[in-house]
Amino acid sequence: MPLLDRLDRELGEGAGLVAIFDYDGTLTPLVSTPEAAVLAPSVRATLARLARSERVRLAILSGRGLSDLKARVALNDVVYGGCHGLEIAGRDLRFRHPRARAADIAATRRELADALPAVPGARLEYKGLAVTLHYRGVRPERWSRVQEIASSVLRRRRTVTVIQGHRIFDFMPRVGWNKGQAARWMVRRMASTLPRGRVVVLYAGDDNTDETAFAALRHRALTIRVGATPTAAQYSVQGVRDVQALLRRMASALAA
């Protein structure tokens, strides 16, 4: 069944909705620098309509730092998950992984900063509980050098793990936590605050990090991969415009 038709059917008869979206590449197009990923006013307006609905609980779950994510979306009544869900806040929910130590990430940041002069175009983004090595600006013949730096730091920092994304390495505390576990945590708590009745769960993301959420929510949610990539998600859409169409469809069905 096509995605939009299934969504219409699932949301019929007064069902509630828990919807979780990634940010970069899902709500905004992928761009050359993190600072350039600005949420379009029309998308923010649609998200705001959904967030205000009593039948909806809306979350944004991203590798971005929590404060950065909140500032970019800038909406009340939204649950925000930063650093792949190591920190979660919004709608009276609060979570910070108890074993995530910022000191480990600060030390990792210093090691990476010492190595970066050898790779022109690479840059660091510090997020408190994570530090990201960006290499979209690095010439392709130097990508192997970036990989060597990441692997070398990881061998020395046993309390840190790394997640690869779109030309990035996210260094995070090694605490056995990912977007899949964060998504389950969010769904349980957000669904419990909806009026009694059937609850539809939806998760959409574009990155390999979202595959953990697709797997964790199997048989529990409508899962959507943005982009033409092999995936564990039930559905795939081509790009951000398709996500925006999905948001408008949900807003028409559920928003006041």
Cα(70)–Cα(104) distance, integer angstroms:
24
Mean pLDDT in residue range 188-215: 94
Residue 174, token pair as written in the block: 């090694």
- The CATH architecture one would assign to domain 102-173 is 2-Layer Sandwich (3.30)
Decide whether 3-97+177-254 matches 102-173 in CATH topology.
no
Residue 35 has pLDDT above 90, yes or no: no
pLDDT for 70-97, tens place per residue?
999 999 999 999 999 999 999 999 999 9
pLDDT in tens, 214-247: 999 999 999 999 998 899 999 999 999 999 999 9
Q: Report pLDDT for 11.
A: 87
pLDDT tens, residue by residue, 164-196: 888 899 999 999 999 999 999 999 999 999 988
More confidently predicted of 67 and 164: 67
Q: Where are the domains of the chain?
A: 3-97+177-254, 102-173
Which residues touch 79 (CB under 8 Å, ≥6 apart)? 57, 58, 59, 60, 88, 89, 90, 91, 93, 186, 190
- Asked if 61 and 182 touch (Cβ cutoff 8 Å), the reply is yes
Q: Please say if the pLDDT value at position 256 is more than 60.
A: no
Query: What kind of architecture, by CATH, is found in domain 3-97+177-254?
Result: 3-Layer(aba) Sandwich (3.40)
- Report the distance separating Cα 105 and Cα 199, nearest Å: 38
Helices 143-156 & 102-115 angle (0-180, nearest 10)? 140
The reported pLDDT for the residue numbered 33 is: 82
Per the CB < 8 A criterion, the answer to whether 214 and 231 are in contact is: yes
pLDDT at residue 1 in the model: 60
pLDDT above 90 for 13: no
| Contact assessment for residue 221 and residue 204, using Cβ atoms and an 8 Å cutoff | no
For residues 20 and 187, give the distance between their C-alpha atoms in angstroms, rounded to a whole number. 9
Q: Mean pLDDT in the chain?
A: 94
Rounded-to-integer distance, Cα 189 and Cα 194, Å: 9
Query: Average pLDDT of 120-128?
Result: 94
